[in-house]
Amino acid sequence: MSDTTQPAKAEETSLTRWLIETVFLVALAFALAFGIRTFIVEPFIVPTGSMIPTIEIGNRVLAEKITYRFTRAPRYGDIVVFPDPNGEHPHLIKRLIATGGQTVDLKDGKVYVDGKALNEPYTHGLPSEPLSPQFHFPLTVPQGSVWVMGDNRTNSGDSRVFGPVPVNKVEGHAVWTYWPLSAFGQLK
């Protein structure tokens, strides 16, 4: 009788062990995915046409989160991701134009930072005009904030509409488009 109960117990122990290992591996996979998404890199879907032609509506981009946490602050030219201040979309993606303490001016369709006209080939010649009577130019960006604008200057709800974005709201540096495959590559 002991010969028949031993295999049954061994099977039961084996099944229990397999179940525990499987649950552990699934929990570990979720924890790793959550950690990677929270602290290293996160995918985002571009909700608007404000970055056309650099990024099209619906493109999927990867934003890395390590640089701003450990190596440097956001700087001019970075494409940044942050929560939509107006709450219309979960996140917005825009180009950083100026940082805290710098003065932004919009004159004759051009952007000036600290009195110097920016060379902005990514706008493809679209004029940069004020969009809201709420902001008067020249405007000094408060310390701890950044001024962001979309590359599609004539169709972008950006800092000209909602004002400076606090640096602590910047969630990542968009660096790569991964979908659609026709747009696959580094963002510049």
Catalytically active residues, by annotation: 50, 94
Beta strands in 35-89 (DSSP E): 41-45, 60-64, 79-83
Q: Are 31 and 138 in contact (CB under 8 A)?
A: no
Secondary structure letter of residue 101 according to DSSP: T
Is residue 115 within a helix (H) or strand (E), and if so which, with residue range? Answer: none
Q: Are 59 and 47 in contact (CB under 8 A)?
A: no
Question: Which residues are bridge partners to 139 per DSSP?
Answer: 104
Residues 6+ apart with CB under 8 A from 132: 160, 161
